[in-house]
Amino acid sequence: MKYSHILLVFCFLWSGTDAFSQKLTEKRVKKLFEESAVMQEHFVGFILQDESGKVVYSQNPDIHFVPASNTKLLTLYAAIHILTDSIPAIEYEISGDSLIVWGTGDPSFLNPKLDNGKVFDFLKQSAQEIYLANQPNLEYEPSFWRSDPSHFPIYANTMLVKADGSGFLSISPRAMAGFLRPDSSYSSKKFDIVRSKKESVLLYPLLPIPSDFDDKVPFPMSMEMSRFLLEDTLKRQVKIVERKKTKSLETLYSVPSDSLYKHMMLPSDNFIAEQLLILCSSVLGDTLDPKITIRYAKENLFEGINHPPIWEDGSGLSRYNLFTPRTILEILNRVETLVGSKQRLRNLLPAGGLSGTLKNAYELDNGEAFVWAKTGTLKNMHLQSGWIDTRKGQTYRFVFMNNNFVKPTEEVRKEMVRIMTHIHEKY
C-alpha cells in the first residue's frame, strides 16, 4: 500500500514537473508551423522575440512582404517622433480685421468621433473676417477605401447618409445634400451612393431607398469644398485668399495626439493614417505632402535597420509597400521604447477579444486579453504584428505575415489565432 502511494506521488510530481518545465524553444515553435497544413500553402514570414531581445524562432525574416495595414506601424513611429502630445490644428495670423487660416491636415475638426470643439469655438468667436489660405493641391489617387486626403479636413471628409423612414435620405452634414444626384445611367441591383468620375458630385441609381440604408460616403475634397463646408458650419462668410506664410504665424492645437493614433490603429482608419503623414509634413516645413514625411523618416529614423522599408503611403493600401518581418520587428521595438508605458502602448493597439480589428479574432483568457497587435488585410494577404502575453507571465514581440494565399482570409486568420493561442496557453 505504501509503495503504491509513493509511486502515485512520484508519478504526480513527475508529470507536474514536466507540465511546468516546458520552455518556449525554436524547435517547439517550428513544429507548430510544420504541422499546420494551412501554413504550408502560401508565403509565411514569422518572428517571435522575447523581452531580452532574443529571437526564439523566425521564418523568412529577411524576405520582403506586402505589409498591408502593418504600414500604420511606421506611420505611428514617424508621428510619435515628429508630433508633440497635442495635434497642431491650424496655423493663423491676424492682420487688421482679417483672420487668415492655414490648414495643417488635422482630421479631427468636426469629426464626430474626435473633435473637442477648440477650433470651431476659436473660429466661431473670432471678431475678424475669416480667410482660408489657399494651398497647393495634394496629389493622390481617389480610393473607395478612404476619404480624400486634404489640407483642411472637415467632418472627416465623409457624410453620413441613412434612410429617414419616409422614403427619403437623412444627410449629415446637410449642406452635402446639394451634391447628390440621381443617375439614370447608373446600373445597380441595389441602392448605393458613389462619387462621379467626372464631377465633384455623388450619384445614386433610380431605385427605392431601402428602409435600413445607413452608410458613410466619402465626398470629393478640395480647398473650395473645405471653404464651402466651413462657411456653412460657422454660419458666417469664409473666403479663400492667396497668402504666403510668414514667420509670425500662431499655432492652435486641438486633440491629444494619442486620440488620433488610437483611432488610426484600432479600427485601422486609412484616412487618419494618410492625414497623420500630412500633419507631420506641416511640422517639418511649409509644404503639406505625405511624401515629405516618408522621405524624412527614411533619412532620419531608420538608422541601423537591417532592411530599410520600401514605404509608399501612410495606410498600407498601396501594394508597392514592401517590408521584411525583421524590419517590422525593429519598428515594434522602437515604438515600444518611444511610447515608454506598457499601458499606453496597449491602449493604442487592438486587443484580442476586446477591441478594434482583433475584437472578434481571439477569445479572452479568464476575461483578459493576451494579444495586442496591428492587423493588416488586403486581398490574399493577412498580417498581425505586436505583443503577446503567456500564461507563465512572459511577454513576446511577434510578427506574423501571410502573403499570396488563395484560401479565404478567415481560414488563414483562424490558423494564426490557433498558433498564437497555443503559444499563450502552453508557455
Instruction: Determine the residue type at 124.
Output: K
Segment 16-21 mean pLDDT: 44
Phi then psi dihedrals of residue 261, to 5 deg = -60, -45
Cell numbers representing residue 18 in the block = 514536466
Please tell me what DSSP assigns to residue 247: T
Among 337, 339, 305, 341, which Cα is nearest to 323's? Answer: 305
Tally the domains of the chain: 1
Distance between CA atoms of residues 70 and 68, nearest Å: 6
Cell numbers representing residue 173 in the block = 452634414
What pLDDT, in 10s, does the model give residues 38-48?
999 999 999 99
Cell numbers representing residue 396 in the block = 513576446
Report pLDDT for 8: 47
Residue 146 lies in a domain: no
Segment 257-284 mean pLDDT: 97
Query: Domain range spanning residue 379?
Result: 23-79+282-426
Judge whether 287 and 45 are in contact, CB under 8 Å: no
Mean pLDDT of the chain: 93
Which of 138-147, 277-286, 397-406 comes out lowest in average pLDDT? 138-147
Q: Which of the four pLDDT bands, split at 50, 70 and 90, describes residue 198?
A: confident
Residue 121 lies in a domain: no
On the question of pLDDT at 393 being above 60, the answer is yes
Segment 206-229 mean pLDDT: 93
Report pLDDT for 167: 85
Segment 116-126 mean pLDDT: 96
On the question of pLDDT at 168 being above 70, the answer is yes
Report pLDDT for 7: 47
Distance between CA atoms of residues 99 and 252, nearest Å: 13
Distance between CA atoms of residues 203 and 195, nearest Å: 6
Among 65, 75, 37, 55, which Cα is nearest to 398's? Answer: 55
On the question of pLDDT at 2 being above 60, the answer is no
- What is the domain-level CATH number for residue 307? 3.40.710.10
The model's pTM is: 0.91
On the question of pLDDT at 406 being above 70, the answer is yes
What pLDDT, in 10s, does the model give residues 336-348?
999 999 999 999 9
Which of 150-154, 204-208, 323-327 comes out lowest in average pLDDT? 204-208
Residue 224 lies in a domain: no
Q: Identify which has the larger pLDDT, 123 or 189.
A: 123
Neighbouring-strand partners of residue 81:
none
Residue 5 lies in a domain: no
Phi then psi dihedrals of residue 126, to 5 deg = -65, 135
Judge whether 62 and 326 are in contact, CB under 8 Å: yes
Angle, to 10 degrees, between the axis of helix 409-426 and the axis of helix 26-34?
150
Q: Which of the four pLDDT bands, split at 50, 70 and 90, describes residue 5?
A: low
Radius of gyration of the chain (CA): 26
Segment 227-246 mean pLDDT: 95
For 24, counting Cβ atoms within 10 Å of its Cβ (0-12 exposed, 13-18 middle, 19+ buried), the class is middle
Tell me the three-class secondary structure of 215-229, residue by residue. EEEECCCCHHHHHHH
Residue 389 lies in a domain: yes
Which residues, including other chains, have CB under 8 Å from residue 185's CB and lie 6 or more apart?
A: none
User: What Å distances lie between residue 396 and 50, 56, 260, 423, CA to CA?
Assistant: 5, 9, 26, 10
Neighbouring-strand partners of residue 57:
48
pLDDT above 90 as % of the chain: 86
Residue 344 lies in a domain: yes
Report pLDDT for 280: 98
Q: CA-based angle 154:156:160, to the nearest 5?
A: 105
Which residues, including other chains, have CB under 8 Å from residue 409's CB and lie 6 or more apart?
A: 377, 382
Report pLDDT for 136: 86
Residue 298 lies in a domain: yes
Is residue 256 classed as helix, strand or coil in its secondary structure?
strand
Residue 7 lies in a domain: no
Report pLDDT for 85: 96
Among 384, 306, 400, which Cα is nearest to 62's? Answer: 306
Report pLDDT for 374: 98
Judge whether 270 and 157 are in contact, CB under 8 Å: no
What pLDDT, in 10s, does the model give residues 349-371?
999 999 999 999 999 999 999 99
Report pLDDT for 166: 87
Report pLDDT for 144: 75
